[in-house]
Amino acid sequence: MLVRVDTASPVPLGDQVAAAVRGAIADGRAAPGDRLPGARQLAASLGVNVHTVLRGYRKLSEEGLIELRRGRGAVVTAGAGPDRADLVARVRSLVTDARALGLGDEELLALLRTCQER
């Protein structure tokens, strides 16, 4: 799997790592059960700190797309597939748009609850 980061981008490097892996899951280049590159190995190939890669991996773990196993690395979860990865990307975009409009967490959650009830 090819991961690239743009050091000139305003997007944090860890977020770029997470987005690259999310994209690989969404387009089928990474499937459930696949092992991701080790954090040290990926950090070295990207020329970034290992904690940057781990930050991105943690984000993906929180999203349920990968599982972090001590001593075994990161593995794409069984529930992670193109549809879930795409949904996570769209939710992230929704949160970004809501922030740009000045909506706080509670306002966004209230809006989601309202839409859910319909």
- Of 54-63, 81-90, 96-105, the poorest mean pLDDT is in 81-90
| Beta partners for residue 75, in sequence order | 35, 67
8 Å CB contact between 70 and 61: no
Cβ density class 5-26: b for 16+ within 10 Å, e for less: beeeeeeebbbbbbbbbbbbbb
The residue segments making up the domain with residue 23 are: 13-117
Position 1 in a domain: no
CATH assignment at residue 47: 1.10.10.10
pTM value is 0.74
Residue 7 lies in a domain: no
Quote the pLDDT of residue 60.
95
Q: Residue 114: pLDDT above 80?
A: yes
Q: Mind listing the pLDDT tens digit for each residue in 30-82?
A: 999 999 999 999 999 999 999 999 999 999 999 999 999 887 889 999 887 77
Number of Cβ atoms within 10 Å of the Cβ of 88: 20
- Average pLDDT over every residue of 96-116: 91
pLDDT at 92 over 80: yes
Phi, psi (rounded to 5 degrees) for 12: -55, 145
Structural domain total, the chain: 1
The pLDDT assigned to 86 comes to: 81
Query: Is residue 2 assigned to a domain?
Result: no
Least Cα distance to 89 among 34, 21, 8, 13 occurs for 21
57 occurs within a structural domain: yes
Is residue 66 within 8 A of residue 39, CB to CB? The reply is no
Give domain status of residue 6, yes or no: no
The pLDDT value recorded for residue 78 is: 87
pLDDT for 46: 95
Give a yes or no: residue 4 inside a domain.
Answer: no
